[in-house]
Amino acid sequence: MPDKTRILVPGAIRERVLERLRETFEVVRIERPDPALLARSEAASIAGAAVSGAFGAALIEHLPALEIIASFGVGYDGVDVGAAAARGIAVTNTPDVLNDEVADTTIGLLLNTLRLLPQAEAWLRSGRWKRDGAFPLTPLTLRGRSVGIYGLGRIGLAIAERLKGFGVSIAYHTRRPRADAPYAYYPSLEALAGAVDTLIAIVPKTAETHKTIDAGVLKALGPDGVLINVGRGWTVDEDALVSALREGVIAGAGLDVFYDEPNVPDALLDLPNVSLLPHVASASVATRNAMADLVADNLVAWFGHGAALTPVPETPFTRKAG
């Protein structure tokens, strides 16, 4: 028997996670989350896992002693949480530590989209300010806008707090209204889109959120409408969005996430009325380090104290004695 608890890390993960885990555990690495890469004799001794991305049912089944899967990120759709829950395996994620970073980036992306700040900088850098004169006036502004937030969880609330400082009106749509939210609630996404001119999406990837921002929602948002997506690309019908942007159904969009990352449709790249980021909403050293620490701390807490710090709702388990 190994002296230290063995933790499996399938595929790439932030180096800080590995550094922290090696302080307490024996780390076993495989190239990708494929059970064929781990002999059954070795798999039998794996008690925990740290993952950034996929961890499917086949790998879970291959690990008979597995107790906990610590996932790097707020979203944990890559982990087969149903298979884990059926075995009594805890799954954790990294909420809260990235709320502020994502909310800050959301506001930056919104301003970039409305005021065309990246295009203005490119105008300066290319010498056009000197050659051609002032950058054209932007047709859109944040002044007087009404903002709808699709998904009022921890990050959605942080975004709303920042928006309050800009003097805009705020409304939201979730599956059910929040008693603690002082904002107007709309029972459907299309109703929310029809009531606002700016829609910010910050919902997770679930079966219920697949392509919910479709042609009907974009039409309801209207010709002055702007879509900002910092949740999951899964939520947006990208073909409908391209058509809406081309045809003036909405005025613009700012996207940090895409349906098939890192593949961004050429049709989006070619549009002048979009601001595009390569999924960087939480991508600062400080925030990613905090996320890495929480992955490690969940494993340390589980094996040291019998309970994870941030279990996902589907797996509210504690460790069995012995």
261 is catalytic: yes
* pLDDT tens digits along 229-244: 999 999 999 999 999 9
The tokens describing 78, both together, are 């890559």
Return the bridge partners of 276, or none: 255
Strands (E), the chain: 6-10, 26-30, 46-51, 68-71, 90-92, 146-150, 169-173, 184-185, 198-201, 226-229, 252-255, 274-276
Assess whether 25 and 151 both reside in one domain: no
Is the pTM higher than 0.85? The answer reads: yes
CATH code, 38: 3.40.50.720
272 and 187 within one domain: yes
Which member of 279, 288, 305, 314 is catalytic? 279
Are residues 76 and 116 both part of a single domain?
Answer: no
73 plus 186 within the same structural domain: no
Q: Which amino acid is at 250?
A: I
Check pLDDT > 70 for residue 322: no
> What is the H or E stretch that residue 190 is in?
helix 189-195
List own/partner pairs for 263-272 with CB under 8 A and 24 or more apart. 265/238, 267/242, 268/238, 268/241, 268/242, 271/242, 271/245, 271/246, 272/119
Residues 54 and 110 reside in one and the same domain: no
Which residue among 6, 145, 232, 288 is the active-site one? 232
- Band of pLDDT at residue 321, cut at 50, 70 and 90: low
Angle of helix 154-164 relative to helix 99-115, nearest 10 degrees? Answer: 50
Active-site residue, selected from the candidate residues 19, 121, 161, 261: 261
Enclosing domain of residue 63: 6-97+286-305
CA distance 258 to 286: 24
Same domain membership, residue 147 and residue 45: no
Examine the residue annotation and report whether 31 is marked as an active-site residue of this protein: no
In total, how many domains does the chain have?
2
Q: Give the Cα separation of 153 and 174 in Å (integer).
A: 9
**CA 13, CA 72: separation in Å to the nearest integer?**
8
Decide if 151 contacts 202 (C-beta within 8 A).
Answer: yes
Predicted confidence (pLDDT) per residue in 104-155, tens digit? 999 999 999 999 999 999 999 999 999 999 999 999 999 999 999 999 999 9
Let me know if 279 is a catalytic residue.
yes
Q: What is the pLDDT of residue 1?
A: 36
Tens digit of each residue's pLDDT (9 = 90 or more) over 147-170:
999 999 999 999 999 999 999 999
Residue 225 placed within a domain: yes
Does 108 share its domain with 229? yes
pLDDT digit string, tens, across residues 7-22: 999 999 999 999 999 9
